[in-house]
Structures are given as C-alpha cells and as structure tokens.
Amino acid sequence: MLKTIEWIPSQPGHPVPGYVRLIDQTRLPGEITYLETTDVQEIWDAIKVLKVRGAPAIGIAAAMGMAVAAQQSDATSTAACLQDTETAGDYLATSRPTAINLFWAIDRMKRVAQAHAELELNAFIDRLVMEARAIRDEDEAQCRAIGEHGVAFLAECRGVMTHCNAGSLATACYGTALAPMYVANERGQQLTVYAGETRPLLQGARLTAWELMQAGIDVILIADNMAAHVMQAGRIDAVMVGADRIAANGDTANKIGTYGLATLARAHDIPFYVLAPTTTFDFETETGVDIPIEERADSEITEGFGSRTAPDGVQVYSPAFDVTPATLVSAIICEHGVAHPDYRASLAEMAGRTSTPEG
C-alpha cells in the first residue's frame, strides 16, 4: 500500500535530523515525486496547494510540522521550545479551514506539549516526534478498521461509485471510502469502481483512478456529469465517499459535488455511505450550516493546469466543499463500527468506543 506521509527518523551518527517525507500529489499521475522537508513553511505550503490533501493526511502533516518546529527551534529551554511549537501549530492552522482533522491534530500536539513541559529539552522534542508518529500510525489502523467494517456493505455489490480521493493518498494508508474496496479486493471479490473525475482539480481522475489501478482494482473513470446516467443504467449498487468534517447531527462536508451525488443516489434508491474516522467528527458544530467552506482561487476553474478555458474577467465562485444533509446519508462508517440515524446519538456512541476489529 502507498505510504502517503511518513516521518523518517534521524540515523545514529548522521548529521541530518528526522524529517517529513510525503508524496507530492500535484505531480500525480505523471510521476511519483516526494517532498522531503524539515521546514514548517514548506509543510504549510504543501497543505495549502494540495501537495498533501485529504482530511486525515493534512492532520498528520500538521502534527509532523509541529514536531519539525520543535526540532528546528533555536530555543535553549523547554519553555521557549514549547512556545515555538505552539506558534507553528497556530500558523499551520491557517492553511485550510474545512477539514476538522487539521485542528484536531494541532490541538492534540499542543496538549501533549503542555503536558510534558517539565521534560529536559531534547526529551521534550523526542516526545513531540513520538506523538506525531503515533498520530500517523493510529490513522493507518483506523483506516484498516473502516475497511473491515465497510466491506460488509459491498457483499452484494458489483459496481460502487466514489467521488474525489478518499484512498491511501488521503490518509496514512488504506483510505476511508476506498478502504472497503481494498479489503474486498484482498478477499477476492470482484468489484468495479466508478470514479468521478472531480472538477475542477480532478482528484478522482488523477488520484483515485491511479491508485486503484496500482492496486489492480477494476476502475472506470467518468466525468462528473455522467453520474446520473450511470446510476440510471443500473451500474451502481452503492456510493461510498469520505468526509472532511461531520457535524453533530450527521451533516457531512466533503469535496464539492458530493451533495449532488447524494441527491442522485436518493433519486435512484441507491445507498449512500460516508466513511471517516472519529477524528473527523465535530461535536462542537451542530449542523452543516455552521461548517466553514473553503473557497479556492478563481484560476483553478478559469485556467486549470495552465490552460485558459474561460474568458478574461469572468466572475467565478469556487467552493472547495459542499454539505450533504444527514437525511441523504444511509450510514456513517468509522473505525468503531457503523452509525445509523439518529446520528446525533449514534455518532456520540461511536466516538465513545475504543476498540477496533481484528483485520
């Protein structure tokens, strides 16, 4: 499986400190290129310009960015290093506004830093590096568990549709929405995945289609506006998507176009599943109306990938996400199991669990 983001530890007797290594997703599918960095600014930029993307993955990147900040700090005391680490966290939080995992990871790193402020400086830095690596490793285990829970919903499926990229590239490994497909493939189940291209940045075309092909899973790429026709033709038995934030009532924010897909699924009586770890649950946000929606640069629509496709001076509206009402969601699958309506109660129950299935 792809390792989207990793912490590469320093080697004994080698002057290079530990560093962050991540796949530059802006270069896919043409080439696999890695960004290797010990610079907080580079990590902020990687999140902002989508070199690393997907709610879990950007949370991991932010956690590792704070570890980098501690490691690179000129501070001579733990107290000063703590301040530098928290400042880095505040800065990284400004990179993208919608994915709650970003803020969850930053808050977790801050709590750990504050709880270990009595440590000697080097031990303090080592503790932060350990926590960032733990966040990554936990995400991998959570995604595998999501796959184990979600694969049951594919037992009678021949065709499944997904949107954007919620696979290994969006997480530490396995993905969220794609995790059940990987588990089904491991078990010999033959599935066809219909991947929407995902305008305007084509994450479905560039990333989802690519990583499923790498895994040997049958994938068919479609333009976003073909989804209704494909459903009407009887090719789709289920829709599985990820999420960047799930409100307390079960409303879910995901890549723009998801709400339309959910509406189409309801019209064609096709189950619509949202898959995400509990780190994506946001109980402080009551409903989807309160989820902040990131707006992207006009150029992503008017001249995507360097080719001008719109008249100069045209007005542009470019939200990166939309919100799918909980009423359109058949179930929300997380690492602890499956939440059904009433989501306000079932999501809280899932968040309170601690065990994951064997897999």
* pLDDT at position 358 over 50: no
Tell me whether residue 358 is in a domain.
no
Quickly tell me which residue has 């939080």 as its tokens. 93
Residue 180's nearest CA partner among 215, 214, 207, 210 is: 215
Residue 353, pLDDT score: 82
Tell me whether residue 357 is in a domain.
no
Residue 168's nearest CA partner among 52, 251, 80 is: 52
Q: Phi then psi for 192, rounded to 5 degrees?
A: -110, 125
* pLDDT at position 95 over 70: yes
Residues 158 and 266 in one domain: yes
**Average pLDDT, stretch 176-183?**
98
Residues 51 and 22 in one domain: yes
Question: For 67-202, where are the E strands, in sequence order?
Answer: 159-162, 192-196
Residues 135 and 187 in one domain: no
* pLDDT at position 357 over 50: no
Tell me whether residue 240 is in a domain.
yes
Instruction: Give the DSSP per-residue string, 280-339.
Output: GEETT--SGGGS---B--THHHHSGGG---S-TT-----BSEEEE-GGG-SEEEETTEEE
Residue 356, pLDDT score: 42
Residues near 245 by beta carbon (within 8 Å), at least 6 away in sequence: 55, 98, 99, 100, 252, 253, 280, 282, 285, 291
Of 124, 143, 162, the last residue of a domain is 143
Distance in angstroms (rounded) separating the CA atoms of residues 286 and 284? 6
Residue 11, pLDDT score: 74
Pairing of strands 337-339, 331-334: antiparallel
Residues 174 and 300 in one domain: yes
What does the pLDDT look like over 263-315, one tens digit per residue? 999 999 999 999 999 999 999 999 999 999 999 999 999 999 989 999 999 99
Tell me whether residue 190 is in a domain.
yes
User: Do 204 and 161 meet the contact criterion of CB atoms below 8 Å apart?
Assistant: no
* pLDDT at position 1 over 80: no
State the catalytic residues.
244
Residues 98 and 174 in one domain: no
Residue 13, pLDDT score: 63
**Average pLDDT, stretch 317-345?**
98
* Angle, vertex CA 211, rays to CA 38 and CA 19, nearest 5: 10
Residues 234 and 280 in one domain: yes
What does the pLDDT look like over 184-226, one tens digit per residue? 999 999 999 999 999 999 999 999 999 999 999 999 999 999 9
Tell me whether residue 359 is in a domain.
no
Tell me whether residue 80 is in a domain.
yes
Residues 136 and 154 in one domain: no
For the chain, what percent of residues have pLDDT higher than 70?
97
Amino acid at 129: V
Q: Taking the model in full, what pTM does it have?
A: 0.94
Q: Give the torsion sign (CA, 246, 147, 104, 95).
A: negative
Tell me whether residue 114 is in a domain.
yes
User: Do 321 and 244 meet the contact criterion of CB atoms below 8 Å apart?
Assistant: yes
By residue range, what is the domain housing residue 189?
Answer: 148-351
What does the pLDDT look like over 25-78, one tens digit per residue? 999 999 999 999 999 999 999 999 999 999 999 999 999 999 999 999 999 999
User: Do 55 and 99 meet the contact criterion of CB atoms below 8 Å apart?
Assistant: yes
Residues 137 and 40 in one domain: yes
Residue 12, pLDDT score: 72
Q: Phi then psi for 346, rounded to 5 degrees?
A: -70, -35
Radius of gyration in angstroms for the set of CA atoms belonging to the chain, rounded to a whole number: 20
Q: Phi then psi for 152, rounded to 5 degrees?
A: -60, -30
Residues 38 and 152 in one domain: no
Residues near 283 by beta carbon (within 8 Å), at least 6 away in sequence: 248, 347, 348, 351
SS3 letters across 99-121:
CHHHHHHHHHHHHHHHHCCCCCH
CATH number assigned to the domain comprising residue 86: 1.20.120.420
Residue 15, pLDDT score: 57
Q: At what angle do helices 55-72 and 40-48 cross, to 10 degrees?
A: 170
Domain total of the chain? 2
Of 96, 122, 143, the last residue of a domain is 143
Residues 259 and 229 in one domain: yes
Residue 359, pLDDT score: 34
Residues 173 and 97 in one domain: no
What does the pLDDT look like over 115-136, one tens digit per residue? 999 999 999 999 999 999 999 9
CATH number assigned to the domain comprising residue 332: 3.40.50.10470
User: Do 61 and 46 meet the contact criterion of CB atoms below 8 Å apart?
Assistant: yes
Residues near 132 by beta carbon (within 8 Å), at least 6 away in sequence: 7, 60, 63, 64, 66, 67, 109
- Kindly state the tokens that stand for 104: 């969850």
Mean of the per-residue pLDDT values of the chain: 95
Residues 193 and 342 in one domain: yes
Of 120, 143, 166, the last residue of a domain is 143
Residue 16, pLDDT score: 61
